[in-house]
Amino acid sequence: MVVAGSTTTTTTTTTRAVARTRGSPAWFCRGQEPGSSRSRPHRASGRPVEEVSTGGHFQEARATLARRAGQALVATAACAAAFFGAGNPAELNSALAVSGGRNGNNSTPISNSDFSGQNLTESDFTKTIMKQCNFDGANLRGVSLFAAFAEGSTFRKANLSFADLEQGNFEDSDFTDAVLEGAQVSAARFERAVIENSDWTDVVLRKDVQQFLCKKPSAKGTNPVTGADTRESLMC
C-alpha cells in the first residue's frame, strides 16, 4: 500500500513514541529500561530478570512477546476487514475480490432478460454479462454498468442519467430516446449502436469516443423527454 508522506511521518512518530514508552527488545532482554541503572523485577518471582533468566523465565518472556505479536496481527486483520466493509476477517478476501460497483454482480450472466419499464436504481450490473437484454423504458439512474458486456441490448427511452457505463461493451445496442445526462462513458464501446434522439448532456467521455459518436448516421434528432438535441448534447 502506498502511504502518503504525512501519514508516514505520523506513523513513524507514533512508532518511536511507543518505543520510548515500552522500550526496545534490547533493554527488555537485559531487564533494564532506558535511563535506569537497576534491573527490572521479574513478575513471578520479584527477582531481577538476570537472576531468573537462566531458570527458564527468559523463554517465558519470549513466548509472551510472540503471543502479543500474534494478537497484533489478528487486530490488524480485523481493522482491514472493517475498512473494506467485510463483517469479519474471514470475509476480507471476498470483500477484496470485486473491483467497482456495489455488489459485484459479475458471476451470474443475465443475457436475454427482460427489464423493460422496471425501476432498477438499486441494482448493480458491474462486469455483468448481459447480452441482448431489454431495458426499454427502465430507470437506471445512477446505476453501475461498469465494464458490463451488454452487446445487442436495448435501452430505448431508458433513463441512464448519471449511470456508469465506463469500459462497457454496448456494441449493436439501441439507445434511441434514451437520457444519458451526466453519465460516465469513458472507454465504452458503441460500434453499430443506435443513438438517435438520445441526450448526452454533460456526459463524461474521451475525445475519441465523442468523435466516433458524432460520426454516426444515427447521431441526430431531439430527445422527447429533455428536449435536448442529440448532436448539440454531444458537442459535435
Q: Which domains does the chain have, with CATH numbers?
A: 5-96 (no CATH), 100-236 (2.160.20.80)
Identify whether the C-beta of residue 153 lies closer than 8 Å to the C-beta of residue 132: yes
Instruction: Encode 20-61 in three state secondary structure.
Output: HHHCCHHHHHHCCCCCCCCCCECCCCCCEHHHHHHHCHHHHH
Q: State the chain's mean pLDDT as an integer.
A: 73
Percent of the chain with pLDDT over 90: 52
Q: Which residue has the higher pLDDT, 92 or 21?
A: 21
Tell me the pLDDT band of 14, cut-offs 50, 70 and 90. very low
Instruction: Write down the pTM of the prediction.
Output: 0.57
How many Å is the Cα radius of gyration of the chain?
A: 30
pLDDT of residue 62: 62
Q: How far apart are alpha carbons 180 and 197 in whole angstroms? A: 11
Question: How many other C-beta atoms can be found within 10 angstroms of the C-beta atom of residue 94?
Answer: 11
pLDDT surpassing 70 at residue 4: no
| pLDDT, greater one: 171 or 104 | 171
Contact 217, 196 (CB under 8 A): no
- Say if CB 177 and CB 197 are below 8 A apart: yes
Residue that the C-alpha cell 531487564 belongs to: 31
pLDDT computed for residue 33 by the predictor: 44
Res 63: pLDDT? 59
- Among 37-46, 62-71, 125-134, the minimum mean pLDDT is found in 37-46
Q: How many CB atoms lie within 10 A of CB 106?
A: 21
Residues 6+ apart with CB under 8 A from 56: none
Average pLDDT over residues 88-110: 45
pLDDT digits (tens, 9 = 90+) for 218-235: 999 999 999 999 999 999
